[in-house]
Amino acid sequence: MTLLRTIDLAKHFVLDTDMRGRPTEVEKAVDGVDLTLAENEILGLVGESGCGKTTLARLLLRILRPTRGEVHLDGRRIDHLSERSLREIRPKLQAVFQDPSESLNPRFTIGESIGEGLRHLTDLSHDESRRRVHEGMERVGLPARIADHYPHQLSGGQRQRVGIARALVLRPRLVILDEPTSALDVSIQAQIINLLFDLKDENRLSYIFISHDLNLVRYVSDRIGVMVAGRIVEMGPTRDVVENPEHTETRTLLEAVARERVAGSAPGGPGRG
Amino acid sequence: MSLPNAQPENNASGAAAEEPRRILEVRNLSVEFYPGSTRAFHAVVDANFEIEAGKMVSVVGESGCGKTLSALALVGLTPPAARCRGTIVHGSRSFEASSSALARLRGRDVGMVFQEPMTALNPLFSLDRQFREVLRYLRGVEDRKEARDISTELLDRVGLDRPERRVNQFPHQLSGGQRQRAMIALALAGEPSLLIADEPTTALDATLERRVMELFRKLADEGLGVLMISHDLPLVADVSDRVVVMYSGYTVENGPAHQLVDAPQHPYTRGLVASASAIVLGDTPRLPVIPGEVPSPDRRPGGCPFHPRCPEKLDRCESEFPPESEPVAGVRTACWARGGDQ
Amino acid sequence: MLRRRLRQFWDMCWTNGFLLSAVVCLTLLYLVALFAGFVSPYHYDNEDRTRSYHPPTRIHVFDDGRLTRPHVREYELTFDEDYRRVFVPVEGVRHDLRLFVRGDTYSFLGLLEWDLHLFGVGEEGRIYLLGADSRGRDLLSRIAYGAQVSMTIGLVGVAIALLFGLLLGGISGYYGGWIDTVIQRSTEIIMIIPGFFLLLALRAAFPPDWDSIRVYFFIIVILSFIGWASLARVIRGMVLSLREKEFVAAARVLGAPDRFIITRHLIPNTASYFVVYASISIPGYILGESALSLLGLGIQDPHASWGNLLQEAMSITQIQLHPWILLPGFFIFVAVMSFNIVGDALRDLLDPQQEVTTTI
């Protein structure tokens, strides 16, 4: 069943206007994106910096208003909703951001950060919220005692777990993951990826996984979309895209990662040393 | 110039006809913060590594492992709160790690490339002018024409297209990858024998990242020594000769790049390689993980700092840091479970 | 967070002598302002016209070479050979200095009437530790009462300026568009006019014969009206960059309303700036009040503020003859200097760069 669908979604930023306020210079950050996402599916979006993938994420989350096009979530059109009406949608549609040290308010305790969504979007009592926050922390592997700590007292991996818990306590159906591991230490990345898989299976979540790292997207996603200059130039099941890339950009991305030699995948070749 | 008493490398290419010239040797380098105070801690403990001309050595580790500090210590750039100890041999000259004379090596003997080229290039001046200043200071080139020729040549060497035109441009007219190349060319202006690059590609996209890495490989092949600092083991393993793996201030493994990836010795390296290869192969439903958190250097567990996360932990790991051993020829590792007791 | 900062500030105090003395000075000045009635031997308007420009009295502990209780001498006014007024000690008349003496009544902390003073010499004599003014009023007492005006005007003024500056700057930066334009043009209009003339013009718009309390509040309002504009501009700039941070995007995804984002996410994160701004701009308020009062437009005699005390020092001959009347200026100097030192220290402490180096 289709959970999310966009039709010709676009966001143009006006960079400069003439004297009468008419745009003279426009950046087409997202320029006509059609995508669908099924329930319990992971869609990977890959592209180089500046290709518009973060803008797309913000359009789907309705942090930005689209210039044109439609977004349907669970059969309901959401792109034109007011902030007030969006409050019904928000719990279903959550996000985990790239840099956990940037995405947590440094002046909020961990408990406050995780409970923020509950505070704004639900009518839960104080005790009930606390219980949900602790539940969420336990689920992502955070000890309950750090609820009173501040982000700077936590490690990068713990902070990203906070970011995940914050989305999870609202019991969402779709979580948009915008580079969720790229700011993390190498040995922590795998932990977070596994956690995201576990949570998906437990809660029948769908993910949109945005990254510049094709290897990672390939590992994580059921389907892949390749973004170039605001458009999705190629989209399909992961295996098809990786094995039969149709677009040159996809091929370039694949070439960049193909030569990384790690155990088992090494093509041999003379070692230097 | 007299050669330092270089040990012949005990590996596959050790039998090469020409003995490679050793340009850098680091012996028992330690960096301590706030020495003597209650919050004193070591950010780098007893680092040992060496670089020969024409070789690329990468120091790999996670944030706070001390990789950048070890590199900065080589040219006396550690923060004022830090105290360095140990010996640093540049070519034939030996320095105390705390010596202020190390600063004079910058530019002429050691070129440096940093993460974000935009902060290292002056946005107000054309490349030509920036090169001219550096060339006059480092090589005493006064003649404009001559300086321009040298800079064009340098830009050509780092693979910038149409260097004779690029030399007139300003940093903002260059793309991220071109800027980083210009930065590398600037680092080469003093004709250094060693190039230190601190995460030179993190600001770049994956495809550019790869090409810039290949440029460093090419420079090494031309005879330069390259010290690469990175957090990305798979990326650097492909282009480096040797890789030094650091964890929480300690050097845990030091070996030829291909061996480190194909047959990692230390459990930490094994964990990193296992996750990375599982991502590439994509045939497991979950990734193999190293459990636990990366300790910050001021709250490091005793003994081997990796022991709380280690799947092969022995009793003595909690109390003593293992001495270096060589379980496989050419690979030095510090682990009790890898014959650290021999 | 706050506790850690306070702790760091405390540590800084012990390593930086300037800072420590500034903090001590400010603490003392505020204590004096708070307990002005108690620490000053006389009421601010207790005058003795026979002792006009009485010089500072020394406290003696020896009498005829023998150690005695601390006391002051009685002085009497005579004229020297050039017919200048001089005060000479009267032989044999001494007044013992006593602690906790009864004297003029004052209102203690605004709660109760009280007449106990920290020190004094009783009814029969007078003590002028810092000299007297033209009407024989004790300068020390007037400086202590003046501190009530001068030391609080900055705090209250900055608090009001902060309130407006933060809210308007925050709204301006967060919403952008026409709201931003309106607020920014208003700040520019205020900033175009030279501050001192604006001060005079605003003061001139209101009756000159108001009582001191009303004038006091009015000066605060004028000063904060001028002060909020520059703050609002900087806060707007900070909010402009802060609103691009991921935690603001995250808050919107979590359904936070704009009001919550501005007051809880954005403004608190500008604290490192506005705390410093506050401590550095307090001297401006002290000086602004002093300037107004010096010109006779601020606090009116008999009420005291450091500015109107300096009115007496406007003539060079008076300063030559009675140099102690410049002392209020010294207190202004100490207060302004101390606030600047503390402000500098806060800036170092809250500098985000500092944050980076301490977390290496």
The Cα-based distances of B146 to B131, B149, B154, C331 in angstroms read: 11, 5, 12, 65
pLDDT confidence of B147, banded at 50, 70, 90?
very high
- Asked if residues B333 and B252 have their Cβ atoms less than 8 Å apart, the reply is yes
* Omega cis (within 30) before A91: no
Q: Is the pLDDT of residue A135 over 50?
A: yes
User: Would A206 be classed as within a structural domain?
Assistant: yes
Number of domain units in chain C: 2
Instruction: Report CB contact under 8 Å: B43, C360.
Output: yes
pLDDT confidence of A210, banded at 50, 70, 90?
very high
Give percent of chain A above pLDDT 70: 94
More confident call, C24 vs C355: C24
The verdict on C241 and C272 lying in the same domain is yes
Last residue of a domain, one of C82, C111, C134: C134
Q: How many CB pairs under 8 A join A and B?
A: 131
Cβ of residue B221 closer than 8 Å to a chain A Cβ: no
Element (H, E) at C328: helix C327-350
Instruction: Report CB contact under 8 Å: A190, B237.
Output: no
A58, A99, A120: residue with CB nearest C257: A120
* Angle ∠(B322,B323,B327) on CA atoms, nearest 5: 100
β-strand C60-63 against B331-333: which pairing, if any? unpaired
Q: Which chains touch B (3 or more CB pairs under 8 A)?
A: A, C
Last residue of a domain, one of C134, C159, C176: C134
Q: Is the pLDDT of residue A259 over 60?
A: no
Tokens 């700036």 appear where? C273
pLDDT confidence of B18, banded at 50, 70, 90?
low
Instruction: Report CB contact under 8 Å: B43, C357.
Output: no
pLDDT confidence of B1, banded at 50, 70, 90?
very low
> For the segment C297-355, what is each residue's pLDDT rounded down to a tens digit?
788 878 888 888 888 888 888 888 888 888 999 999 999 999 989 888 887 777 644 44
User: CATH number, domain at C325?
Assistant: 1.10.3720.10
Residue of B nearest to A273 (CA): B241
Q: Tell me which DSSP letter residue A52 carries.
A: S
Q: Cα–Cα distance between C137 and C246 in angstroms, integer?
A: 62
Last residue of a domain, one of C134, C166, C183: C134
Instruction: Report CB contact under 8 Å: B33, C357.
Output: no
Residue of C nearest to A171 (CA): C254
Interface test with C, best of A13, A102, A150, A168 (most C CBs within 10 A): A102
Q: Tell me which DSSP letter residue B187 carries.
A: H
Cβ of residue C263 closer than 8 Å to a chain A Cβ: no
- Asked if residues C41 and C140 have their Cβ atoms less than 8 Å apart, the reply is yes
Number of domain units in chain A: 1
The verdict on C169 and C311 lying in the same domain is yes
pLDDT of residue A260: 57
Q: Cα–Cα distance between A173 and A163 in angstroms, integer?
A: 16
> For the segment C38-81, what is each residue's pLDDT rounded down to a tens digit?
888 888 888 888 888 888 888 888 877 788 888 888 888 888 88
pLDDT of residue A45: 95
Give percent of chain B above pLDDT 70: 94
The verdict on C21 and C112 lying in the same domain is no
Q: End-to-end distance of chain A based on CA atoms, in angstroms?
A: 54
Dihedral, B41, B45, B51, B56 alpha carbons, nearest 10: -70
**Tokens read off for B195:** 């190039």
Within 8 A of C357 by CB-CB distance, chain B residues are: 79, 81
In chain A, what is the greatest distance between 2 CA atoms, to the nearest angstrom?
66
pLDDT of residue A212: 87
The verdict on C261 and C122 lying in the same domain is no
A-proximal residues of B, 118-147, CB under 8 Å = none
Tell me the residues of A at the C interface, defined by beta carbons under 8 Å apart. 58, 61, 63, 83, 86-87, 90-91, 93-95, 97-99, 102-107, 116-117, 120-121, 150, 152, 163, 166-167, 170
> For the segment B218-253, what is each residue's pLDDT rounded down to a tens digit?
999 999 999 999 998 888 988 999 999 999 999 999
Q: How many CB pairs under 8 A join A and C?
A: 67
β-strand A23-38 against A2-17: which pairing, if any? antiparallel
pLDDT of residue B308: 93
Q: Which of C351, C336, C329, C221 is nearest to C281 (CA)?
A: C336
User: Would C286 be classed as within a structural domain?
Assistant: yes
C246, C260, C271: residue with CB nearest A97: C246
**Tokens read off for C232:** 């609002």
Within 8 A of A106 by CB-CB distance, chain C residues are: 1, 269
Q: Tell me which DSSP letter residue A269 carries.
A: -
Structural domain B19-109+192-338, CATH architecture: 3-Layer(aba) Sandwich (3.40)
Contacts for A139 with CB less than 8 Å, ≥ 6 apart: A165, A168, A199
More confident call, A233 vs C110: A233
User: Would C43 be classed as within a structural domain?
Assistant: no
Mean pLDDT of chain C: 85
Give percent of chain C above pLDDT 70: 97
Q: Is the pLDDT of residue A261 over 80?
A: no
pLDDT of residue C13: 84
3-state secondary structure B1-33: CCCCCCCCCCCHHHHCCCCCCEEEEEEEEEEEE
Compute the nearest-CA separation of C7 from chain B (Å).
Answer: 15
pLDDT of residue C219: 80
A187, A212, A264: residue with CB nearest B206: A212
Compute the nearest-CA separation of A215 from chain B (Å).
Answer: 6
Residue of A nearest to B239 (CA): A272
Highest mean pLDDT among A10-19, A106-115, C70-79: A106-115
Q: Cα–Cα distance between C317 and C325 in angstroms, integer?
A: 12
Q: Which of B214, B190, B213 is nearest to B201 (CA)?
A: B213
pLDDT confidence of B341, banded at 50, 70, 90?
low
Compute the nearest-CA separation of C340 from chain B (Å).
Answer: 27
Residue of C nearest to B297 (CA): C360
Q: Cα–Cα distance between C276 and A145 in angstroms, integer?
A: 33
> For the segment C223-237, what is each residue's pLDDT rounded down to a tens digit?
888 888 989 999 999
Interface test with A, best of C241, C254, C356, C357 (most A CBs within 10 A): C254
Asked whether the CA dihedral C168, C160, C252, A181 is positive or negative, the reply is positive
The verdict on C147 and C130 lying in the same domain is no
Range of C94's domain? 54-134
Range of A80's domain? 2-104+174-258
User: Would C45 be classed as within a structural domain?
Assistant: no
pLDDT of residue A119: 93
Within 8 A of C360 by CB-CB distance, chain B residues are: 33, 43, 79, 81
Highest mean pLDDT among A53-57, A268-272, C291-295: A53-57
C247, C255, C268: residue with CB nearest A103: C247
Give percent of chain A above pLDDT 90: 64
Q: Cα–Cα distance between C20 and C36 in angstroms, integer?
A: 23
Compute the nearest-CA separation of C42 from chain A (Å).
Answer: 49
User: Would C39 be classed as within a structural domain?
Assistant: no
Give percent of chain B above pLDDT 90: 56
The verdict on C205 and C181 lying in the same domain is yes
User: CATH number, domain at A23?
Assistant: 3.40.50.300
Compute the nearest-CA separation of C282 from chain A (Å).
Answer: 26
The residue extents of the domains of chain B are 19-109+192-338, 110-191
- Asked if residues B337 and B267 have their Cβ atoms less than 8 Å apart, the reply is yes
Q: Is the pLDDT of residue A220 over 50?
A: yes
- Asked if residues B24 and B87 have their Cβ atoms less than 8 Å apart, the reply is no
Contacts for C20 with CB less than 8 Å, ≥ 6 apart: C13, C14
pLDDT of residue C1: 59
Instruction: Report CB contact under 8 Å: C253, A102.
Output: no
C-proximal residues of B, 31-50, CB under 8 Å = 33, 43
Compute the nearest-CA separation of B253 from chain A (Å).
Answer: 15
Q: End-to-end distance of chain C based on CA atoms, in angstroms?
A: 18
- CB neighbours (10 Å) of residue A172? 20
Please list the residues that pair with A224 across neighbouring strands. Answer: A44, A236
pLDDT of residue C194: 81
Q: How many CB pairs under 8 A join B and C?
A: 6
Strand ranges inside chain A, DSSP E: 2-17, 23-38, 42-46, 68-73, 76-77, 93-96, 174-178, 206-211, 223-228, 231-237
**Tokens read off for B220:** 């090494």
Q: Tell me which DSSP letter residue B61 carries.
A: -
The Cα-based distances of C282 to A216, C140, C272, C341 in angstroms read: 55, 23, 16, 12
pLDDT confidence of B143, banded at 50, 70, 90?
very high
Within 8 A of B273 by CB-CB distance, chain A residues are: 262-263
Calculate mean pLDDT across residues C160-169. 92
Q: Which chains touch C (3 or more CB pairs under 8 A)?
A: A, B
Q: Cα–Cα distance between C151 and C306 in angstroms, integer?
A: 9
DSSP assignment of B71-140: HHHTTT-S-TTEEEEEEEEETTEEEETT-GGGGGGBTTTEEEE-S-HHHHS-TTS-HHHHHHHHHHHHH-
A-proximal residues of B, 226-255, CB under 8 Å = 231-235, 237-238, 240-242
Q: Cα–Cα distance between C116 and C281 in angstroms, integer?
A: 36
User: For residue B107, how many C-alpha atoms fall within 13 Å in the half-sphere facing its CB?
Assistant: 11
Cβ of residue B207 closer than 8 Å to a chain A Cβ: yes
Residue of A nearest to C355 (CA): A152
From the candidate CATH numbers 3.10.129.10, 3.40.50.300, 3.30.70.1110, 3.40.640.10, the one assigned to the domain spanning B110-191: 3.40.50.300
pLDDT of residue B151: 94
pLDDT confidence of A248, banded at 50, 70, 90?
confident
Highest mean pLDDT among A13-17, A164-168, B6-10: A164-168
Calculate mean pLDDT across residues B141-154. 93
> For the segment B266-292, what is each residue's pLDDT rounded down to a tens digit?
999 999 999 988 988 888 889 999 998
Q: Is the pLDDT of residue B77 over 70?
A: yes
The verdict on C197 and C214 lying in the same domain is yes
Contacts for C217 with CB less than 8 Å, ≥ 6 apart: none
User: Would C181 be classed as within a structural domain?
Assistant: yes
pLDDT confidence of B19, banded at 50, 70, 90?
low
Q: Tell me which DSSP letter residue C266 carries.
A: I
Mean pLDDT of chain A: 88
User: For residue B221, how many C-alpha atoms fall within 13 Å in the half-sphere facing its CB?
Assistant: 11
Angle in degrees, 0-180, between the axes of helices A110-121 and A126-139, rounded to the nearest 10? 120
- For chain B, the C-alpha Rg in angstroms (whole number) is 21
pLDDT of residue C230: 87
The verdict on C295 and C152 lying in the same domain is yes
Q: End-to-end distance of chain B based on CA atoms, in angstroms?
A: 38
C-proximal residues of B, 110-169, CB under 8 Å = none
Q: Cα–Cα distance between C330 and C9 in angstroms, integer?
A: 27
